[in-house]
């Protein structure tokens, strides 16, 4: 029976890309009345067939997380987000060369033959001044206007 290890990774240091996105949304696209902050994290979803998923997650984190500047959290067969923002998951809907490279590195170089697949995504954490339905509508607009390239990306507003 395969299991999915979800590894959430975010910067401990200031994130220039997230700051740029925040400034663009507030100053240029007019979301200042509803948006208060933007943060970003990487999401690795690693499907494994066999083995202790928590032990495997520790090994994967050593390979995929730079402990000097990043923090991480692990979930097995689940994925939870905090309540104070709207998480927007952006992933390639075309073949993801980086995810394939990570899968092959885990399998071949590091010997984790039980790694079935790896998916990689970016989760944009949109902090709104209100989490009423307007925030969901704004999150969808923001994803479509700025966060994705429709030729290669898809997005999902993650439920909490």
Domain that holds residue 43: 2-157
Tracing tokens 């494994």 back to the chain, one arrives at: 48
Q: How do residues 141-158 score in pLDDT, each as one tens digit?
A: 999 999 999 999 999 999
Q: What is the pTM of this model?
A: 0.94
Q: How far apart are CA 123 and CA 61, in angstroms?
A: 18
> How is residue 139 written in tokens?
């999150």
Per the structure, the count of domains in the chain is 1
Count of other CB atoms within 10 angstroms of residue 48? 23
List pLDDT tens digits, range 61-100: 999 999 999 999 999 999 999 999 999 999 999 999 999 9
Q: Assign residue 141 the CATH number of its domain.
A: 3.30.1280.10
Give me the mean pLDDT over the 13-40 stretch.
97
């Amino acid at each position: 029976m395969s299991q999915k290890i979800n590894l959430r990774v975010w910067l401990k240091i200031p994130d220039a890309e997230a700051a740029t996105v925040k400034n663009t949304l507030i100053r240029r696209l007019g979301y200042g009345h509803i948006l208060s902050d933007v943060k970003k994290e990487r999401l690795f979803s690693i499907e494994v067939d066999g083995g202790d998923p928590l032990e495997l997650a520790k090994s994967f984190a050593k390979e995929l997380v730079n402990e000097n500047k990043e923090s991480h959290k692990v979930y097995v067969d689940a994925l939870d987000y905090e309540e104070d923002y709207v998480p927007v998951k952006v992933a390639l809907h075309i073949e993801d060369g980086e995810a394939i490279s990570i899968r092959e590195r885990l399998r071949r170089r590091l010997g984790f033959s039980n790694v079935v697949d790896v998916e990689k995504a970016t989760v944009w954490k949109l902090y709104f001044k209100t989490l009423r339905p307007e925030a969901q509508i704004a999150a969808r607009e923001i994803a479509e206007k700025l966060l994705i390239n429709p030729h290669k990306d898809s997005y999902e507003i993650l439920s909490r």
